[in-house]
A = this chain, B = another copy of it.
């Protein structure tokens, strides 16, 4: 096992990268300038050191409090609840939502041994009490686990006097009825709006 095999092995453990892609990337790095490879190495070596969960919302940030939580221009009366830090990034990229976030750190998945206690739910409840929140948007994924988790949170929060909403689920824009799966199509009927 030489240094090249080591790189291929390490790269192929990353999500979405198989042995062939890893090999291609390793040879690409060797063929190109040394600085490209060293820059990536440097960036990776400081990643865990510099990036930590925001102590308020739980998404990743270099500071103790993330840019969203510390931005005075955000709407501080709305919290969008998501599963993972990367969901914050996906939503921020759309530039549609201007409120705050709360990262659960996962979903209720009994088969994987993840119960409500492992999620950041007590932090959510205390934020609703202290931060004068008027609406909680449940933005967990439209999957079995995501729906279950949303339902569980709705039950916990329903007596706290906040409006609780769930992201719309239905046909994707640009999609085609023919190719929509049955569950999505059924849900698009249930969630239909007046035109």
| Chain A residues packing against B (C-beta within 8 Å) | 2-4, 6-7, 10-11, 13-17, 21, 23-31, 34, 36-51, 60-62, 84-86, 89
A45–B51 CB distance below 8 A: no
Smallest Cβ distance from A42 to chain B, in angstroms?
Answer: 7
**Which chain B residues border A17 with CB–CB below 8 Å?**
17, 21, 25
Chain A interface SS verdict (over half) = helix
Cα of A152 to Cα of B16 in the assembled complex, Å: 40
Cα of A146 to Cα of B38 in the assembled complex, Å: 32
Knowing that A2-B61, A3-B50, A10-B44 are A-B contacts, what are 7 other residue pairs whose CB atoms are under 8 Å apart, sorted by A's residue number? Answer: A3-B49, A6-B43, A13-B36, A15-B24, A31-B85, A37-B47, A41-B44
Most chain B CB within 10 A, of A13, A37, A44, A85, is at A44
Cα of A45 to Cα of B16 in the assembled complex, Å: 22
B37–A48 CB distance below 8 A: yes
A51's partner among B15, B30, B44 (CB-CB below 8 A) is B30
A44–B50 CB distance below 8 A: no
17 contacts between A and B (CB under 8 A): A2-B62, A3-B43, A3-B46, A4-B60, A6-B43, A7-B43, A14-B25, A16-B21, A17-B17, A27-B84, A27-B85, A27-B89, A30-B85, A34-B48, A37-B45, A38-B45, A38-B48
